Structure 1
């Protein structure tokens, strides 16, 4: 039937369907007073970067914004997160000057809630930044903004968004986690700028403070040393009497990025490479990173350091407030002064590489120099510490009153903190200057030179003097850290002979393709292990230098500590801290000793190794690829804590380098990734593969992998989680393997693990098989 006059049908439509009188729209970026957005429509930003539309989680429907150009739907903002639609019947439209979301017969479930818009015809537009704005209609998007989603974040901070508060307009922009992956409603964690002290960001679980970034130092947050200038991100923190905010920009146009507060309370920064098209979000940074990021882990005046064997320690001049509990690891009570402050006779103790303490009782004066800051602090008996407010300019003054809380010390990247102590803690020097700045008398200078000369003579006599002939081992300019190597002791061969009783067989504790290991004791009573490289070990002077320099620069509780070395004629000897429980393989593959390794110890060893690898790959200033991770290169201390050793084949990656090629494949078959064994391509994913081999793979009866010597109280879910992580780590394609930060995350939470593909035990393309424990180690 041909309809010659459509108007009657249109009239009937308008009469019976009054609530659909606004024209639905799609494939454009703007909503006007005459258009709306319904369940089947989307708004797409002009550059096709973001989409605004309806999405479903569980049985509920939400209005949100997600990325347009990536394959994984990643929602960055939700309008009605705490008022979901029960059915896909929502309509977004402009009404009364506000943008509103209605369900059913005009039930308003969400609104921009502007009391007075001042605009007769506002429009809503989705921008390429991911910002949904409600503004006055104007040419070339010039209309005044009335409301914007950037000022009302969900769990994600996009480039250009501001986190922080503005008292003038009554805003406090913060992130709130999703409840879970299928429920974007407000979770228990919140991330916001501190309103009570200096500019710093805080993570709270409900009302409990869990983590803080430390105050802004002019270039980064004090507690985030990784926040260095780089070609990917630019960071900025602004502060005025009315507003304090943090923001960042993305400097690389080939990437997209987001900062998200996840459901477990972790702040995570992700990147997506648009050019590589690898189809995954890559974790760039994460906090909290370790146990020392737990707020006030060591209590007032307690310093937390993950590289210290005891983790928590007291500031010099302080002692544990509750010694008995402290010895048991309960350190929240912190430390107290051994001697009271004298006010008029105090000085300052300089602590380096510090995360500045909480700033609840801190005062800042940007006009003061550091020297003026010291004087002001000394002149106020309530001032207990001071530091520079802007480390880039070396100026500004922060002064603290009250207890100093949440102190953390880094291996690098922290800043100087000056803590007030009585003169008795500064070697009885009186006055208003720090110990380092105390002016010595002429007699003191003479005495100092005499003592230095005597000490130099004593070290030379004992054989501890640096061997000048081989001093150039530490003098290359490979990295900016190279100067640290000079702190190592270079032992004379005569001293080594004495320590090992002329390399007595009774002192020998191990051997391998590299040579022999001996146990010895330094004059101060410290037990040591000496690794004497054999002449046919394949490790030349360059490889030896490499191991010395690398280990000297790396400090982590899960890396073996190098104490010194010896180079004499053809002798190359490394001196390490002694590990009484020897190597992991000596327990794993010995049926009589493996009973020592119950599941709890094994799990702690797995996590400890993972943390050591994470430090090598991401958390140290250098990016280190070990290239020979295996059970025999994991040593165990008195408490069965694992320490990664043998860095002879390790390599340094510079800048943003993540992989390299070599014509000489080194390492141990069975632990070697396929792409490395076959093509000489090594990367951080090569170490990931070696880590995964810890969890041997057989058929589908996963629980049969559990060592029969372990206790029957073993947690099956934890075992299965470790096995699944192991399978993920040994996937054939490097791109499919997780990075180590993701490994650690998955070890703690099985709910976030993808399913692994077929594990790869392949040494030539087209041929895959199991490997035995017969290790073949290839060295350069």
Structure 2
């Protein structure tokens, strides 16, 4: 791509970062309007109000932002009515109405009349912009916090004023260049027991849940953190959620971003950037009702869906394919008339959807139980609060239940006597719990015996012993649980592994396309019988990916371990892998800039899940273009977990003598010393970002011998101020200059030589989502010793490690 003229770049930066002089003080009066180019600054110099333009547009808006972070707008007045040209104005009329006018003095937005005699508008130090009578403290006729944009600041209310009918909710921007209301809205649902919901359009996306006396049911982890103070108020005249911080020195915000995530962000003064404190939904179980009615979602299980005790899958076929949204149905009907029903306790759960529940906050748990038994429609009950007070009763199907490892509540599910087990009736709750525990332990014992018998039979049949092939680095010995496919089913699905169905071949073995039934398309990875490394990778992948669920990770449907066959069955990705598009001139044109940027963001989200949000803290160790699969909508899915490693919470880095991975993507400390950490994956991600932007391989023939590789080439262009020359020429008609420059800088930050200088993936996700944020300057990248293309292609060698006179020599196993 050719170099942009210096004048054009200067114009871009002027439009993207509007810095204006302040008018005197924090107050607007009828005689002193705010012109485009002027600002109000709150008394404590915490917030600024003024005109701004988002990236990629000349449209102007009135907004409020933290002074420490000018590009981060937290409130927009005229978000649906931009000023198309400069020279707009904000004023307050003599009756207290705020008005925004354009360059032709035409009113494009107003706050409505306040009926004041001597009005002023003032920007407060909490970010609230109020209209009030002059010289009368503590009162106001209008306030910006009643009309949030995409951000909830400390002290703001999310919820309802029941007297006026005012509903304060938070709605995402449409895009980074358009603050108009987007598809994602977070607000309070008043039905049943009030709860907070994140909607996508009219559909529920994430149920934050009701208040349980200490926190909201969907975010129990926040109890671990001590800087936030949460409150949920339910009164006759208002219902709202609010949060504050334990110290006013903390700078924080709660934002619904345009990609559909709710982020709690904290400003880090040392690095001058925002850090993602929490991001929701964080896993598959957070999304509404993944397991349907009477189903329980648990990320610690594989598959993640199971039925409550006394229930069975409504659609066993879909259940076997790891699709649980059909839910479950009762094994035995209730017998309310004869009074034989009882309850089973489901512990540590997010309570079911409360929108159709009944709540009595004065009732105790025993009375709640008795009330449920008297109501033949009652399906479950629970305490409204963690301390045991209050009563919630459900009379409809139980949906959106998930299990937590911390902070969940007890749910009492009504069952027929036959589903409770012998001797379990509603008048013997303690006995019931003990018997249920006994039944569970007995079931586990029985299952263990069955597994032992199964293993012995398989050994007699000549099956390989997995234990003898396990990667020496993976010693946890975790159990794995996946649907098992019959070999005959796989043979039929793949047309007996026909050449026409073959999709490709990797170090693991060949991959085939298949079809289960009439609709379900699958991809089958078949372990090559001669691949010892493949056996290691197979075991590693089964034990890891079966426990992972994220929209940017490939979905493992099951496996087949019959005879000597070892196969993994995945969802089929019709667009195959990213490298098939990226490094092909003809196909590369199909990846416009927006598609590439979405792919970068999706990979970042998937990697963040692996590093932070999954129950297993995982380092992938082989992130590369060929391991990024693309679905029918070109959404990226990280695949191939054969080389992945589990990282314990107390570990910061690990060492290995068996260095595995792919030349060009390995971090220097890993390739040379065998030291790896989450920062190793960050390095690989940075290489991938630069490849996606340039359409070139890191170790390709297009780069001169003097430059060495893509990292050196990108670094040289960046230092010279010519970063945009790195961009793939095919993107000239679709490129976003701001996003491209931001992405190149993020990529270079990720490939810095020193691991501690590289950002974490949570910071990377934030950098990509906040495109105006001022990023630190990258330092020198970690260059890898130059090798020829022929050496790269032939580097699939086995690892050998030898010790001569206590000198360790490690041979890198490239891929």
The 1:675/1:248 distance shift into structure 2, 3 A limit, reads farther
Cα deviation, 1:258-293, whole Å, max 9, x if unaligned, reads 11111232212222201333xx32222222223333
Please, what TM-score do these two structures have when normalized by structure 2? 0.63
- SS of 1:688's equivalent? helix
Q: CA deviation at 1:726?
A: 8.0
SS at match of 1:165: strand
Q: Following TM superposition, by how much is the alpha carbon of 1:62 offset from its aligned partner in structure 2, in angstroms?
A: 0.9
Residue 746 of structure 1 and its aligned partner are, at CA, apart by 11
Aligned to 1:112: 111
Take 1:667 and 1:298, find their aligned partners in 2: how far apart are those partners?
A: 40
The offset of 1:138, in angstroms, is 1.9
Equivalent in the alignment of 1:128: 125
Per-residue deviation, residues 200-252 of structure 1 (Å, max 9, x unmatched)? 21122222222211222222221223222313322222221222211222335
Aligned residue in 1 for 2:274: 281
Q: Secondary structure at the match of 1:281?
A: strand
Matched, 1:336 2:329: yes
What are the within-5 Å matches in structure 2 for residues 44-443 of structure 1?
44-57=41-54, 58-70=57-69, 73-95=71-93, 96-104=95-103, 106-117=105-116, 120-138=117-135, 142-251=137-246, 255-277=250-272, 280-327=273-320, 331-343=324-336, 344-391=339-386, 393-433=387-427, 436-438=430-432
Q: CA RMSD in A?
A: 5.7
- Per-residue deviation at 1:426? 0.3
Taking the aligned partners of 1:517 and 1:273, their CA distance within structure 2 comes to 36
Mapped to 1, the partners of 2:694 and 2:105 lie a distance apart of 54
Offset of 1:164 from its aligned partner? 0.8
State how far apart, in whole Å, the 2-side matches of 1:36 and 1:746 are. Answer: 35
Q: Which moved more, 1:754-763 or 1:174-183?
A: 754-763
2:198 touches 2:204 (CA, 8 Å); kept in 1?
Answer: yes
- The answer on 1:510 being equivalent to 2:501 is no
Q: Please report how far the alpha carbon of residue 745 of structure 1 lies from its aligned counterpart in structure 2 after TM superposition.
A: 9.6
Is 2:730 aligned against 1:730?
Answer: no
**Residues 516, 439 of structure 1: CA spacing in aligned structure 2 closer, same or farther, 3 A cutoff?**
closer
Cα distance in 1 between the residues matched to 2:395 and 2:252: 39
CA shift digits 1:172-201 (9 cap, x unpaired): 110111111111112222111112132321
Secondary structure of 1:85's counterpart equals coil
State the 1:66 CA deviation. Answer: 1.4
- From the superposition, tell whether residues 728 and 437 of structure 1 become closer, same or farther in structure 2 (CA, over 3 Å): farther
* Shift, 1:683, TM fit: 6.3
Match of 1:40 among 37, 42, 46: 37
Distance 1:82 1:46 in 2: 29
Q: Distance in 2 between matches of 1:253 and 1:519?
A: 45
Q: Which residue pairs with 1:689 in the alignment?
A: 683
Kept in 2, the 8 Å contact 1:558–1:608? The answer is: no
Distance 1:518 1:329 in 2: 24
What is the match of residue 548 of structure 2? 557
SS at match of 2:303: coil
Distance change in 2, residues 1:406/1:38 (3 Å): same
Aligned partner of residue 64 in structure 2, secondary structure = strand
The secondary structure found in structure 2 opposite 1:367 is coil
Whether the aligned pair in 2 keeps the contact of 1:174 and 1:190 (CA below 8 Å) is yes
Shift of the 84–268 alpha-carbon distance from structure 1 to 2, 3 Å rule, reads same
CA contact (8 A) 2:234 2:240 kept: yes
Compared with structure 1, are the counterparts of its residues 340 and 356 closer, same or farther at alpha carbon in structure 2 (3 Å cutoff)?
same
Q: Deviations over 1:596-627 (max 9, x none)?
A: 99964789x999998886456423679x5759
1:729-751 deviation digits (Å, cap 9, x = unpaired): 53446577554457789999999
1:68 Cα shift?
1.5
Rounded Cα–Cα distance in structure 2 between residues aligned with 1:411 and 1:200? 22
Return the offset for 1:360: 1.6
Superposition deviation, residue 304 in structure 1: 2.6
Counterpart CA distance in 1 for 2:241 and 2:118 is: 33
CA deviations 1:376-431 (Å, max 9, x no partner) are 2222222211122221x233221111111222233444322111111110014353
Please, which runs of 5 or more residues in structure 2 have no aligned partner? 1-20, 487-541, 551-557, 580-598, 628-636, 701-729, 802-807, 811-815
Evaluate the alpha carbon distance shift between residue 101 and residue 161 of structure 1 in structure 2; reply closer, same or farther with a 3 A threshold.
same
Q: Distance in 2 between matches of 1:196 and 1:356?
A: 15
SS of the aligned residue for 1:59 comes to coil
User: 1:435/1:672 Cα in 2 relative to 1: closer, same or farther (>3 Å)?
Assistant: farther
Do the aligned residues in 2 keep the contact of 1:137 with 1:143 (CA within 8 Å)? no
**Contact 1:204–1:210 at 8 Å: present in 2 too?**
yes
SS of equivalent to 1:284: strand
What's 1:13 paired with?
none
Change (3 A) 1:31 1:687: same
Aligned length: 632
In structure 2, how many angstroms separate the alpha carbons of the residues matched to 1:230 and 1:555? 30
Residues 314 and 506 of structure 1: CA distance in aligned 2, closer, same or farther (over 3 Å):
closer
Name the CA shift for 1:47/1:749 in 2 (closer, same or farther; >3 Å).
closer
Larger radius of gyration: 1
| Higher share of residues assigned strand | 1
* Equivalent residue, structure 1, for 2:506: none
Q: 1:15-40: CA deviations, max 9, x gaps?
A: xxxxxxxxx97142111232111112
Quote the Cα distance in structure 2 between the aligned partners of 1:556 and 1:316: 22
Cα deviation digits, residues 517-547 of structure 1 (max 9, x gap): 999999xx999xxxxxxxxxxxxxxxxxxxx
* Cα gap change, 1:148 to 1:259, in 2 (>3 Å): same
